Amino acid sequence: RDTKPAGDFGRHGDDAVDLATRHLIQPWPVAGSAGAEARALIGEGDGIHITDGDGKRLIDGPAGMWCINVGHRREELARVMYEQAMQLSYNTPWYTMNAPSAELARRIADHAPGDLSHVFYTTGGSSAVETALRFMQFTNNVRGRREKKLILSRGGAYHGSTYLSASLNGRPRDRDWMDGADGLVVKLTAPNPFRRPARVSRKTFADFLVEEFRQTVEEIGAERIGAFVGEPIQASGGVIVPPDGYLKRIREICRANDILYVSDEVVTAFGRLGHVFASGEVFGLDPDMITFAKGVTSGYFPLGGVVISGRLLEELRKSNHPDAMFAHGLTYTSHPVGCAVALKNLDLLEDGILAHAREVAPYFQTQLKTLEALPLVGEVRGMGLMACVECVADRDSNNPLELDNAVGKRIDRHCHELGLLVRPLINMCVMSPPLIITCEQIDTMVAILREGISRTMDDLRKEGVW
Ligand code: PMP
What CATH number did the domain enclosing 101 receive? 3.40.640.10
The answer to whether the pTM exceeds 0.80 is: yes
Return the amino acid letter for 87: Q
**In the predicted model, what is the mean pLDDT of residues 119-131?**
98
CATH assignment at residue 358: 3.90.1150.10
Least confident of 52-61, 92-101, 130-139, 403-412: 403-412
Q: What is the DSSP letter of 275?
A: S
Instruction: Return d(Cα 157, Cα 145) in angstroms, integer.
Output: 27
| 95, 69: one domain | no
Tell me, using a 6 A CB cutoff, whether residue 267 lines ligand 1: yes
Q: Could you tell me where the DSSP H helices lie in 29-157?
A: 63-66, 75-87, 99-111, 125-142
Return the amino acid letter for 220: I
In a domain, 306, yes or no: yes
Tell me, using a 6 A CB cutoff, whether residue 156 lines ligand 1: no
451 CA distance to ligand 1 middle (Å): 31
Residue 1 has pLDDT above 70, yes or no: no
Least confident of 193-207, 282-296, 393-407: 393-407
pLDDT single digits (tens) 132-184: 999 999 999 999 999 999 999 999 999 999 999 999 999 988 989 999 999 99
Residue 4 has pLDDT above 70, yes or no: no
Predicted pLDDT of residue 5: 55
pLDDT single digits (tens) 55-92: 999 999 999 999 999 999 999 999 999 999 999 999 99
Which atom of ligand 1 is closest in space to residue 66's alpha carbon? Answer: 8
| 64, 101: one domain | no
By CB neighbour count within 10 A (0-12 exposed, 13-18 middle, 19+ buried), where does 360 fall? buried
pLDDT single digits (tens) 192-218: 999 999 899 999 999 999 999 999 999
In a domain, 23, yes or no: no
Rg (CA), the chain: 22
159 CA distance to ligand 1 middle (Å): 5
Predicted pLDDT of residue 211: 98
Tell me, using a 6 A CB cutoff, whether residue 266 lines ligand 1: yes
Return the amino acid letter for 79: R
Which element (helix H / strand E) includes 408?
helix 407-418
Predicted pLDDT of residue 14: 63
Domain end, chosen from 306, 334, 362, is at 334
| 206, 241: one domain | yes
Tell me, using a 6 A CB cutoff, whether residue 159 lines ligand 1: yes
Predicted pLDDT of residue 274: 98
CA angle at residue 384 from 58 to 158, to 5 degrees?
Answer: 80
Task: Name the nearest CA neighbour of 136 among 267, 320, 288.
Answer: 288
CB neighbourhood size of 140 (10 A): 18
In a domain, 348, yes or no: no
CA distances from 138 to 149, 266, 328 (A): 10, 22, 10
Total number of domains constituting the chain:
2
In a domain, 403, yes or no: yes
Predicted pLDDT of residue 7: 55
In a domain, 254, yes or no: yes
Share of the chain above pLDDT 70, in %: 97
**Domain that residue 360 falls in:** 40-73+353-462
Per-residue confidence band for 10, with pLDDT thresholds at 50, 70 and 90:
very low
